[in-house]
Amino acid sequence: MANLQPVLLSGGSGTRLWPLSREAYPKQFLPLAGDDTMVQATWRRVATLADRAPIVVANEDHRFLVAEQLRQVDAPVPAIILEPVGRNTAPAIAAAALQAMAKGEDPLLLVLPSDHVVRDVAGFQHAVRDAMPAAEQGALVTFGIIPDAPETGFGYIQADAGEGLRKVLRFVEKPDADTAQAYLQEGGYYWNSGMFLFRASRFLEELAQFRPDIVAAVRAAHAGARHDGDFIRLDKDAFASSPSDSIDYAVMEKTSHAMVLPVDIGWNDVGSWSALWDVADRDGEGNAYHGDVIAVDTRNSYAYAQRLVALVGVDDIVVVETDDAVLVARKDRVQDVKLVVAQLKKEQRSQAVLHREVHRPWGSYDSVDNGARHQVKRIKVKPGAALSLQMHHHRAEHWIVVCGTAKVTRGEETLLLSENESTYIPLGVKHRLENPGKVPLELIEVQSGSYLGEDDIVRFEDVYGRSE
CA atoms 382, 388, 390, 394: torsion sign:
negative
Instruction: Determine the average pLDDT of the residues in 279-292.
Output: 93
> Which residue from 153, 117, 115 is spatially nearest to 11, judged by alpha carbons?
115
Beta strands in 25-173 (DSSP E): 55-59, 79-83, 108-113, 117-118, 140-145, 156-159, 166-172
pLDDT by residue (tens digit) across 58-67? 998 899 899 9
Q: What is the pLDDT of residues 202-213, one digit of tens each?
A: 999 999 999 999
Distance CA 461, CA 112 (A): 37
SS3 40: helix
Per DSSP, what are the bridge partners of residue 445?
377, 399
CB atoms under 10 Å from CB of 18, counted, come to 25
Count Cα neighbours of 378 within 13 Å in the Cβ-side half-sphere.
9
pLDDT digits (tens, 9 = 90+) for 97-156: 999 999 999 999 999 999 999 999 999 999 999 999 999 999 999 999 999 989 888 899
Torsions phi, psi for 144 (to 5 deg): -95, 135
Rg of the chain on CA atoms, in Å: 24
- Contacts with 333 (C-beta within 8 Å, 6 or more apart), sequence order: none
pLDDT for position 315: 98
CA distances to 32, 51, 78, 120, 420 from 54, in Å: 22, 9, 5, 21, 43
pLDDT value of residue 1: 60
In this prediction, residue 244 has a pLDDT band, given cuts at 50, 70 and 90, of very high
Domains (ranges, CATH) in the chain? 4-268 (3.90.550.10), 273-342 (no CATH), 357-461 (2.60.120.10)
Is residue 465's pLDDT more than 80? no
Average pLDDT of 328-357? Answer: 94
Alpha-helical segments (H) within 163-251: 177-186, 200-210, 212-223, 236-240, 247
Q: What is the mean pLDDT of residues 347-373?
A: 92
Angle of helix 38-47 versus helix 63-72 axis, rounded to 10:
50
Residue 39, SS3 per DSSP: helix
| Banded pLDDT at 466 (limits 50, 70, 90) | low
AA identity, residue 222 = H
Closest by alpha carbon to 63, among 7, 5, 10, 8? 10
Supply the pTM of this predicted model: 0.89
User: Is residue 405 pLDDT above 60, yes or no?
Assistant: yes
CB-CB neighbours of 160 under 10 Å: 11
Average pLDDT over residues 296-322: 96
What whole-number distance in Å separates Cα of residue 234 and Cα of residue 354? 25
What mean pLDDT comes out for the span 440-462? 93
Arithmetic mean of pLDDT over the chain: 94
What pLDDT is stored for residue 2 in this prediction? 61
The residue-averaged pLDDT of 358-382 equals 93
147-196 per-position pLDDT tens digit: 998 988 889 999 999 899 999 999 998 999 999 999 999 999 999 999 99
Q: pLDDT band for position 51 (50/70/90)?
A: confident
Res 468 pLDDT > 80: no
Convert the pLDDT of each residue in 18-37 to its tens digit: 999 999 999 999 998 888 99
Contact of 264 with 280, CB cutoff 8 Å: no
Beta carbons of 300 and 280 less than 8 angstroms apart: no
